Amino acid sequence: MSNVKWQGLRLTAVIKQELRAIGTITIGCIIITLGIMGLTVPYKLPDSGLTGLAVLGKYAFGLSPAWVVGLGNVALLIWSWRELSPRFVILTTYGVALLTVLLKLAESLPHPVIDDTMLVAILAGVIKGIGGGIVFRCGASLGGTDIIVMVLRKRLGVEVGKYSFYINLVILALSALVVGIEGALFGLVSVYANGVVTDNVLSSFDRRRLVFVVSREHKTISRFIIEEMNRGVTELLGKGGYSGEDRPTLMCLLTPKQAMDLKRFVAQVDPKAFMVISEASEVLGRGFKAWKSL
């Protein structure tokens, strides 16, 4: 394959990938906005992270959550941009800007009337967890404490989860001074539901496909897997049983979506290729589940 054709296919794949990411982040931001402005704010529930400070400012001083989220994230992105990847910064900036606009537009929207506060807390957490999980799947974030803990991990090598927990605990404690102990407990339930759902959304996409490809364009396909999918690939030495010809075979582990992307790419570069896709029940090792997690 010519270098020009390869570069064209590569550029097309990158554009499609990023457009899908932007579209997915948009959907996630809409869902999160519905959870915040439709349930969290109307029922005065505390929240975690920068959003927690934003709604706390709304309850205590009447500040618009949109401005707190927007200005707070701008400051954090300026502070941390040297530590984060350009793609992450760009996608996160887009998500933050969109969420700020959506929060402002949703301030006057009606909200559902629900008598059970516990149900409201759980429902708010579930909705925001779905939206957050969708955004995280794109390799982006909606800023706030996510940025802080990522920078701390890179600069100091600290454990992200531990510091994120402590930061959110402080925010919930401050919320108790405004909404009371009972309100803070409902907020804790909502934050817990948010975390559980986010983890489940992320893990639901964590299935893997074991892929074998036999093709005369194995070098081109291997480069696509490594450079565009950011996945490793192993080249096995194979030989045709009938022809006796050497036929290098590529083996790799991909997500279901990546497997579909690879199928389309292989169909473009070598319609005569032979491809086998099977489901891997579990994957251990570098880039997947760590052995120490067993």
Residue closest to 65 by CA, chosen among 285, 281, 73: 73
197, 216 in Cβ contact below 8 A? Answer: no
Mean residue pLDDT of the chain comes to: 84
Residue closest to 59 by CA, chosen among 36, 80, 82: 36
Are 194 and 120 contained in the same domain?
yes
Are 217 and 194 contained in the same domain?
no
What is the pLDDT, as a whole number, of residue 102? 95
Chain segment 169-227, per-residue pLDDT in tens: 888 899 999 999 999 999 999 998 988 888 778 766 656 889 999 998 999 999 999 98
What is the pLDDT, as a whole number, of residue 200? 78
CA angle in degrees (0–180, nearest 5) for 1-218-137: 100
Are 33 and 46 contained in the same domain?
yes
**279: three-class secondary structure by DSSP:** strand
Residue closest to 174 by CA, chosen among 2, 53, 266, 14: 53
CATH number of the domain encompassing residue 249: 3.30.70.120
Chain segment 239-280, per-residue pLDDT in tens: 777 777 888 899 998 877 788 889 989 999 999 899 999 987
Dihedrals phi, psi of 246, to nearest 5 degrees: -70, 130
Last residue of a domain, one of 169, 204, 239: 204
Say whether pLDDT at 40 is over 90: yes
Chain segment 100-134, per-residue pLDDT in tens: 999 999 988 888 889 999 999 999 999 999 999 89
Are 240 and 192 contained in the same domain?
no
Chain segment 142-169, per-residue pLDDT in tens: 888 878 877 776 676 655 556 667 788 8
Are 164 and 221 contained in the same domain?
no
Say whether pLDDT at 288 is over 70: no
Are 215 and 136 contained in the same domain?
no
Segment (H or E) for 201: helix 160-204
Total domain count for the chain?
A: 2
Residues 6+ apart with CB under 8 A from 75: none
The range of the structural domain enclosing residue 230 comes to 208-293
Segment (H or E) for 173: helix 160-204
Pair of tokens at residue 7:
């570069």
What is the pLDDT, as a whole number, of residue 254? 87
Are 26 and 63 contained in the same domain?
yes
Last residue of a domain, one of 177, 204, 231: 204
